[in-house]
Amino acid sequence: MDDQLELEHEGTAAHAWAAFGDLMAGVLGAFVLVLAAALVGQLDLAHQLQAEMQQRKAEQSRREALERALAGPLADGRITLVEGRIGINSAVLFATGSDQLLADGRALLAALAKPLRTYLAQRDEILMVSGFTDDRGVVPGMQFTDNWDLSARRALNVTRALLADGLPPDAVFSAAFGSQQPVASNDSAAGRALNRRVEIAPTPRPKRAAAVLTP
């Protein structure tokens, strides 16, 4: 009888140890999975941070290259360069209420064309020429419908001048913003003068869509 009880006790202990071993194996397996997931997450985060750093370095390099290309006009104050956008006050380019380029404005665009052409040749980018106005409406009787019309015609004429000075036709396009996107308050004459401007901004070239093959 005692031998039988002892055998049953040993069997129970063996089962208990087996169950404990299975439990520990499960816990260890779960720990390994959690650890692996954590490592994968850290690797993904590291890759993401590395990609962001590379993007920032590329952007910084782009801005520095643009500053070098436009060093002359920047130094004499004829243009501004803010976050990669070349700004030109409309008074430099156009007479009040006109979309025809002034002689000084035309000369400035001619001076910008060569460094811009060189800059674009080294990068897969294009130029967006944007026209802006203040919030005051156009004078009645003028040839423009509204500020959208005025800003569009000014942007187009700047674009045409740059094309005439040798920029590739597929590397320049125009945009009109009217009185939208002001950079200063329209409550003062100085602010309105800043808002009447043309901006030239390098932007990534749109990727061509893959051709769809039809059977």
Identify whether residues 105 and 198 lie together within a single domain: yes
Does any domain span residue 12?
A: no
What string of pLDDT tens digits covers the 215 residues of the chain? 555 545 455 556 556 566 666 667 777 777 777 777 777 777 777 777 777 777 677 667 777 877 887 888 888 888 999 888 999 999 999 998 899 999 999 999 999 999 999 888 888 899 999 999 999 988 777 789 999 999 999 999 999 999 999 999 999 999 999 999 999 999 999 999 999 999 999 998 887 655 555 55
139 and 52 within one domain:
no
Last residue of a domain, one of 12, 38, 69: 69
Whether residue 87 contacts residue 80, with contact meaning beta carbons closer than 8 Å, is answered with yes
Number of folded domains that form the chain: 2
Residues 171, 192: Cα–Cα separation, whole Å: 30
Which CATH number goes with the domain that contains 102? 3.30.1330.60
- Cα 95 to chain centroid distance, Å, stands at 32
- Contact indicator for 175, 129 with CB cutoff of 8 Å: yes
Residues 61 and 132 in one domain: no
Q: What are the tokens at 172?
A: 């320049």
Domain identity same for 62 and 101: no
Do both 91 and 148 map to the same domain? yes
Q: Residue 120: which of 161, 160, 76, 173 has the closest Cα?
A: 173
> Do 102 and 197 belong together in one domain?
yes
Nearest C-alpha neighbor of 159 from the set 145, 175, 183, 144: 175
Within-domain flag for 14: no
Same domain, yes or no: 163 and 92: yes
